[in-house]
Structure 1
């Protein structure tokens, strides 16, 4: 059972997301919050698999709540997905840098909301398609330096596929590797580069020219 805490200061939005998620098999909403401070307390107490956070909330906003949760060893294992109305670059980068596993616009629809939760549980990530295109276009601009030489050839192959949104299972099948080997490569890359999750690995890969838009 995937457990979820969700936070949004609008009752209708919060109730709507709860209805969507509780209708899914294997998903349980164990707590709801009206602001980021309440969300942090719920996560500390309930230890859910995933926390959905709006950005603009009273007392503590979603970005601060994300940083707080990911910085605390007691709550860092909870995957955070930011769900917002505001399609602003500063929010996208802020959420990902804070450690969020996904960034979803509220108008993305029920299917993407559910998939964002399931992706977060798998250790993958989901970013709204419109945001992804813009993000990758900007990250694909020429960087001041190229850091591909810090990766071994096997790591380079794995990272380039992560940057294109492949799951660990898909990468393993594509490269004829065990899934455990893929995870080992990613863990070494994260440790060497100081990256916290596969979203940051993907962002690093685009930023440093490991992959290009086709």
Structure 2
């Protein structure tokens, strides 16, 4: 089993560990070709999970037979960051990354394919309310996009094709009334109208 080498954040996770534990982890992980060393991995994992000091946040590394996770935790024990990946060696790929607030509530969810953003993407406010709902294809925004106010009221709606705005892009006041409407085609804006809080047209082009 080989630790994922293509995840940019791997060095970030490992730097919170002491040099001794980092070296032990890499040596054991890279030499582990069968089930004989699973007990040693389990033991080392327990030591890593219990490693705290100098005000550094705790970092844990979890293993499973079909997928692996790297979990970073706050000092209070709640998850801060979870990276899930599958495969071995050169076939290792990130499939999901989730970040959390210190309270334990979800902050952001990203899905990956071939180490690029692909699929649903979500951001959340501290109160648990979703703030952004989007979709990605090959690292680019593609499909419907919605952004929300803190109370769940819609703030913006739009649509992307290969990273460019397409069709209508609308913004709304906090009371739900339309604030602006823009029409796009292939990323170019071809029409736009802005309204005041009373619904009257303020500007148009």
TM-score by length of structure 2 reads 0.28
Higher relative contact order (CA 8 A, sep 6+): 1
Structure showing greater radius of gyration is 2
Choose between structure 1 and 2: higher helix proportion.
1
